[in-house]
Amino acid sequence: MFALVMMLGVALTLSAVVVTAVFFRQQTMHMFETRPKLVSRVTKGLQVLSGSILIIVAAHELLGR
C-alpha cells in the first residue's frame, strides 16, 4: 500500500512539473513573438550587468591584494 501511495505522489509531482514547464514555455514563446524589442533590451542589460560584475571582480582580485 505504501509503495502505491508513494508512486502516486511521484506521478502527481512529475505531472505538475511538466504542466508548469509547458505553460512557462508557451508564455515565454508568446513574449518573444509579441515583444522582441523588450527581450532585446533585457538581454543586452543582463550582458552589461554581467560584464560589469566580471570587471569589478577582476579589479578587486588584481588591486585588492
Model confidence at 64, pLDDT cuts 50, 70, 90, reads confident
Q: How far apart are CA 4 and CA 7, in angstroms?
A: 5
pLDDT, tens digit, 9 for 90 and up, residues 9-63: 999 999 999 999 999 999 999 999 999 999 999 999 999 999 999 999 999 999 9
39, 31 in Cβ contact below 8 A?
yes
Q: Is the pLDDT of residue 7 over 70?
A: yes
Nearest-angstrom CA–CA distance, 65 and 60: 8
Distance CA 49, CA 43 (A): 10
Would you list the domain boundaries of the chain?
1-34, 36-65
pLDDT above 80: residue 65: no
Chain center to CA of 42: 13
Give the pLDDT band of residue 4 (cuts 50, 70, 90).
very high
Quote the CA–CA distance of 34 and 27 in Å, as a whole number: 11
